[in-house]
Amino acid sequence: MSPVRPLALMAMAALPLLSGCIARTAASVITAPVRVVSQGADWATTSQDESDRNRGRKLRKNEERYGKLERDYRRYSNRCDNGNDEACDRARATYSEMENLRGSVPSSRDYRD
């Protein structure tokens, strides 16, 4: 008996056991491009939930910034009223920044029913 013959017999005996594994591997290879494209599309697009979450985060950040600017403006205005010219300049600059930010911060009217 040649050495090739037992090897061929073992391969033939193992073939039924490997057929499912080979089929799964073939299916994985065939569907891999579809999965990659699908994952790429998922990464490239923003869901409505993510969009809402990002908008809320941006609104909160703008509200916090506006609140800080209001406090700074009051402080600079008080100093300006006491004759501090530098505080007057800062109050004007702060007020200007508040005006620029005002459109992106909801007012209390926006929260009424």
pLDDT digits (tens, 9 = 90+) for 31-56: 777 677 777 766 777 788 888 888 89
Whole-number Å distance between alpha carbons of 18 and 11: 10
Distance spanning both ends of the chain, measured CA to CA: 92
Show the tokens assigned to 3: 């050495």
SS3 label, residue 47? coil
Which residues in the chain show pLDDT less than 70?
Answer: 1-30, 34, 41-42, 105-113
What pLDDT shows up at residue 113? 44
What pLDDT shows up at residue 45? 72
Show the tokens assigned to 88: 């007057």
pTM assigned to the model:
0.52
Whole-number Å distance between alpha carbons of 62 and 56: 10
